[in-house]
A and B are shown apart, each in its own frame.
Chain A
Amino acid sequence: MTATALEPTVAAKPAEGRVRRVLRRHPKIVIGGTILLLIALVAIFAPYLATVDPQKVSPARRMRWPQELYWFGTDMMGRDVWSRTLYGTRVSLVVGIGAAALATVGGLALGLITGFIRWADAILMRIMDGLMSIPAVLLAIALMAITQASIQNVIIAIAIAELPRVTRLVRGVVLSLREQPFVEAATAAGTGLAMTMIRHILPNTVAPLLVQGTYVCASAMITEAILSFIGAGTPPIIPSWGNIMSEARSIFQVGWYIVVFPSVFLSITVLSVNLLGDGMRDALDPRLARRM
């Protein structure tokens, strides 16, 4: 064969070189990933970043403007906003990542079932359509209303609200994959249904799932803030960004800085997650950009 002479040039490049090339071509991954990493470090090392107990009330020092001792000022109960905002990072990240993981795993399972089993598809997808017809935030509020306020419940409520979108995505990918000749070829080669799913279907769903996962993560963070803001989310004793904003809402005119700092943090976090997701989408599958 004549092609053999040219082949060494397309031989696998060293892994490090390939990673570096991908990163250079997709700066969104670098920017989003770096910001997100910084925010994650802030969340992990919150106790060491010049913070005090975020719940410590000091009535004598209420409503201090940002100054040397209180970088982000203090709120109406004299709590340090800097400390509260930094600890709030933990809540946002845990809820975002937790809801994304839960919705992704659940959506993957449901998507595989609906993609392969016709009768289950008819039933499950009608339920998903029903869930989808309710706005995610509203559904999460309703779910929170029937449970106790806790971080776990917030994660579960948001994951359920995001589940239909992930299921739909996986189902679509599975349906198009199972018509691919290589899946037919696997059947011809004697591969069973379960093995076909593991060997041929699952690996091909990873890329779109990863991308969708980041979008779920970003939207979960916003939903968490909304839930906390209206008092239906994280219990008020936990300093989440939504809680801080919610408490400062009534004194917005005198202490607007209390609202501004957590909102800026929320915006930057969500932006970085979305940037990371966009970058991954472009890097993993350029065709996916049109599908979403």
Chain B
Amino acid sequence: MNAQAPIEAGPLLEVKDLKKHYPVRKGVLQRVVGQVYAVDGISFTVGHGETLGLVGESGCGKSTAGKSIMKLIEPTSGEINVAGKRIDNLSRGEMQSVRRQVQFVFQDPYSSLNPRMSAGDIVAEPLRNFGVAVRSEVRDRVAEIFAKVGLRREQMDRFPHEFSGGQRQRIGIARALALHPHLIICDEPVSALDVSVQAQVINLLMDLQQEFRLSYLFIAHDLAVVEHISHRVAVMYLGKIVEIADKRDLFGRAQHPYTEALLSAVPVPNPRAKSQRMILKGDVPSPIRPPSGCRFHTRCPYAVERCKAEEPKIREIAPGHHVACHLRGPDA
């Protein structure tokens, strides 16, 4: 079915210099004494039918970035375009049209489903909100979507607590799928699941991508999962993107020292393989007072004086391969 799909010009999602700062308030008068730089100027694109993996340690701002795009969190600044239309300045009401195109799958399949609604009602909620289906047809539409995600029609009347974790996440995916969106933002959709169930859900997401030509922004901290599902991968560190590249380039020829360290931490399923782990010193610095210059210089084994003073710009060092590091690239 992909053959007939028109070739759209330009990316489906384009994020430019997205920032989300949280004010830190103190004292009786709640004076603003600082900012948490949760997301501090990130730019990336997601093409039609493409999966962009967004990886990073916990607390690096990847979930905040995902939620800002859907305006579940109001971004501080930046430009967000969906299919060429700017959406970051839309009001809550105007966002409704965007929500038909962009949907969200949540991390926790337990708390993201209302315990007092049946599975069928949960999936029907977006359909009812947008009046997509006539009242009498809603059940059939929901049953259709249930079949797509590998759930049975009879399960529509059950409540979330009667499902397993993997099945619950299927309900969450069904809810995101109900409106036939173009882009689904998946916020660590499998990190709360068992490994065996993770594979089922990942494969389901990939099958759905094939069938509906979906684009995914796939947020995760598990590199093995990201390698499996993504076409391109972006690595985040302390609110900044440090490297974006095609999956093959990133996993084969990682340029940024932080990416190198992350990759070396992936366990290899061969007990005799010689591991050359690159152990990082220290902890992630506080996003309230990020380090000067390159944010990674406090933990980078290759850091030089320049890294402390000057913040590296993200540059394209090879076609499609962007890195923010002074030590990498043609002039380094």
Given known contacts A184-B72, A188-B104, A190-B99, A3 and B167 CB-to-CB distance under 8 angstroms:
yes
Chain A residues with a Cβ closer than 8 Å to the other chain, count? 24
- Is A203 an interface residue when CB atoms closer than 8 A count as contact? yes
Closest CB of chain B to A94's CB: distance in Å? 32
Interface majority SS (helix, strand, loop, mixed), chain A: helix
Cβ of A191 within 8 Å of any chain B Cβ, yes or no, is yes
The answer to whether B111 and A180 have CB atoms under 8 Å apart is: yes
Cα(A195)–Cα(B113), bound, Å: 16
Q: Tell yes or no: B96 within 8 A of A by CB.
A: yes
A190-B130 in contact (CB<8A): yes
- The one of A1, A180, A189 in contact with B125, judged by C-beta atoms closer than 8 angstroms, is A189
Chain B: how many interface residues by the 8 Å CB criterion? Answer: 35
Question: Considering the chains assembled together, what is the distance between the CA atoms of A187 and B126 in angstroms?
Answer: 10
Q: How far is the CB of B102 from chain A (nearest CB, A)?
A: 9
Cross-chain contact B166 with A1 (CB below 8 angstroms): yes
Is A18 among interface residues, defined by CB-CB distance under 8 A?
Answer: no
CB contacts (< 8 Å) of B108 on chain A: these are: 181
Q: Taking the complex as formed, is B315 at the interface, i.e. its CB lies under 8 A from any CB of chain A?
A: no
Q: Is the CB of B96 within 8 A of A181?
A: no
CA distance A33 to B277 in the complex (A): 67
Q: Which residues of A contact B114 (CB under 8 A)?
A: 182, 186, 199-200, 204
B175 near A190 with CB under 8 A, answer no
Say whether A10 faces chain B, with CB atoms less than 8 Å apart.
yes
Tell me the nearest residue of chain B to A179, going by C-beta: B111
Cβ–Cβ contact B111 & A1, under 8 A: no
Known: A1-B150, A182-B111. A189 touches B162 (CB 8 A): no
With the chains together, A150 CA to B72 CA distance in Å? 51
Shortest B206–chain A CB gap in Å is 18
Is B26 an interface residue when CB atoms closer than 8 A count as contact? Answer: no
Asked if A198 lies at the interface with its beta carbon under 8 angstroms from chain B, I say no
Binding site for A on B (CB under 8 A): 67, 70, 72, 96, 99-100, 103-104, 106-108, 111-117, 125-126, 129-130, 150, 152, 157-158, 162, 164, 166-167, 172, 175, 178-179, 200
Q: Which A-B residue pairs are the 7 nearest by beta carbons?
A: A181-B112, A189-B126, A190-B129, A188-B104, A190-B99, A182-B114, A181-B111
Footprint of B on A, CB under 8 Å?
Answer: 1, 3-4, 7, 10-12, 180-182, 184-192, 195, 199-200, 203-204
Q: Would you list 9 pairs from A and B whose C-beta atoms are within 8 A, ordered by A residue?
A: A12-B158, A181-B106, A182-B112, A185-B172, A187-B72, A189-B103, A189-B129, A189-B178, A190-B129
